[in-house]
Amino acid sequence: MARTAFLGLGVMGYPMAGHLAKAGHEVSVWNRTGAKAKAWSSEHKGRAAEAPADAVFGAEFVFLCLGDDPDVAAVYDALEPSVGAGTVVVDHTTASAELARTLASRAQDRGAAFIDAPISGGQAGAENGALTIMCGGNQAAFDQAKPVMSAYGKRMTRIGESGAGQLAKSVNQICIAGIVQGLAEGLHFVEEAGLDAAKVIEAISGGAAQSWQMENRWETMVAGEYDHGFAVDWMRKDLRIALDMARQNGASLPLTAMVDQYYADIQAMGGARWDTSSLLARMGRKKR
């Protein structure tokens, strides 16, 4: 079993760290709000640390699950003094490829390794230990971390060198944005045409139109229920990262840019914390 540290106990990180403890790993946790770290340690076998460097000291594997580039940069600055030779730092935050490359270089200077490893699967995936993890970084470090990540990851793939995991996550979010908008438009059409949504979904979900979003979200979308899943605020952050990278590499993302603005409409409606399936709300299917 490994000595691990987990920093960032949000809706994803809290259960992920719990899976590490349940798998028998030694776990130290840290969270910006200390009460949450203490709550975690009272629920799981593990230690709540008061500072990032304290949590990381002596750890073989360090896991981060934070909000955005500035959060990752600040926490890494704080924990870096405790990063020793052979330490593997795994960042599950969806952040920029540029930051991943910078931190990988800093880790290498200390004889450590840094893997950018954004996740997909939502809160349910984290709670069920069934996340998809897209990784960038050194192959040997990935091979070391993979058995430990398997405590909460169902599919772990090394895409390439540092930054490749974050770029793959952008692809994931680009695809999701288009799929959810298509589903929202389809359900809007169903309503305007006076069709039975359940029968339409039954008819089309076995064919090429099928998607995870259709299978898991159509009923709540029709019901105007958006209090679950991945929040609009976080999706806009992820799409911002994708669009910024597209401006750098020349990729054309007109649909993504459009859906990003539709999510801005949702935010203006008061739906910043609604699930991403709330795209239907801007067409008239209001939240209930």
Euclidean distance between CA atoms 179 and 182, whole angstroms: 5
Q: Which of 169, 199, 237, 287 is catalytic?
A: 169
CB 154 within 8 A of CB 228: no
Phi, psi values for residue 28, rounded to 5°: -115, 135
CB 278 within 8 A of CB 271: yes
Ordered DSSP codes for 247-285: HHHT---HHHHHHHHHHHHHHHTT-TTSBGGGGGGGGT-
In this structure, the chain runs to a length of 288
- Tell me whether residue 169 is one of the annotated catalytic residues: yes
DSSP state of 231: B
Reported as type and span, the H/E element at residue 87 is none
Residues with catalytic roles: 169
